[in-house]
């Protein structure tokens, strides 16, 4: 499929931590031959600190302000795929801004899949690093509930069985 010749999308991937945003960012960017970016990585590069260090040293509110500022750099880009942080849509009217400036896709796998992916990564994620596996399940369940109204403002929602290559390519063709 040679999508990149006629489609120059601006795509924002949203969803919980562990939902696959980074994976699908790389996949879509390669397929479309556009820049693929990870918002957390851009923040770390700009701040010259890890996300955990930013949270520890400067606090979550500072992090959220930097996150929103860097997100809005994408207004000037012609095409891209951006994997956002799990909380990005929840602060500073970011969800509304993303919807005005591109195609938002909510990736929504089941909590069990998030837990399976996140257990090995807990040490690198400031919001979950000190949680037991049982507490992680409770945390993710509650966090998803808290964020769901914002996530569901996305133009596209993909749940469980819909999260696959064919579905992503169909969406790009139809909406981008």
CB distance 157 to 15 below 8 Å: no
d(C-alpha 20, C-alpha 101), whole Å: 22
Q: Which domain holds residue 20?
A: 9-175
Judge whether 112 lies within some domain. Answer: yes
Per-residue confidence (pLDDT) for residue 176, from 0 to 100 = 59
Judge whether 2 lies within some domain. Answer: no
d(C-alpha 153, C-alpha 120), whole Å: 30
Where residue 164 sits, what CATH number does that domain have? 3.40.50.300
d(C-alpha 149, C-alpha 116), whole Å: 24
Print pLDDT tens along the chain (176 aa): 444 455 578 999 999 999 999 999 999 999 889 999 999 999 999 999 999 899 999 999 999 999 999 999 999 999 999 999 999 999 999 999 999 999 999 999 999 999 999 999 998 888 899 999 999 999 999 999 999 999 999 999 999 889 999 999 898 788 75
d(C-alpha 170, C-alpha 135), whole Å: 37
Q: How many structural domains does the chain have?
A: 1
CB distance 114 to 20 below 8 Å: no
Per-residue confidence (pLDDT) for residue 26, from 0 to 100 = 97
Judge whether 57 lies within some domain. Answer: yes
Judge whether 1 lies within some domain. Answer: no
CB distance 56 to 128 below 8 Å: no
CB distance 71 to 39 below 8 Å: yes
């Amino acid at each position: 499929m040679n999508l990149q010749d006629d489609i120059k999308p601006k795509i924002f991937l949203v969803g919980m931590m562990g939902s696959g945003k980074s994976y699908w960012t790389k996949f879509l960017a390669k397929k479309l031959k556009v820049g693929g970016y990870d918002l957390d990585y851009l923040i770390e590069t700009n701040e010259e600190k890890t996300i955990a260090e930013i949270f520890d040293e400067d606090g979550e509110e500072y992090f959220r302000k930097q996150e929103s500022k860097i997100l809005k750099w994408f207004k000037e880009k012609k095409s891209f795929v951006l994997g956002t942080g799990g909380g990005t849509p929840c602060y500073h009217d970011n969800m509304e801004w993303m919807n005005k400036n591109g195609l938002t896709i909510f990736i929504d796998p089941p909590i069990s899949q998030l837990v399976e992916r996140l257990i090995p990564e807990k040490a690198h994620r400031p919001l979950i690093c000190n949680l037991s596996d049982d507490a992680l399940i409770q945390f993710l369940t509650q966090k998803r509930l808290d964020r769901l109204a914002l996530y569901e403002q996305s133009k596209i929602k993909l749940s469980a069985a819909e999260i696959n290559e064919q579905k992503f390519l169909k969406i790009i063709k139809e909406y981008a």
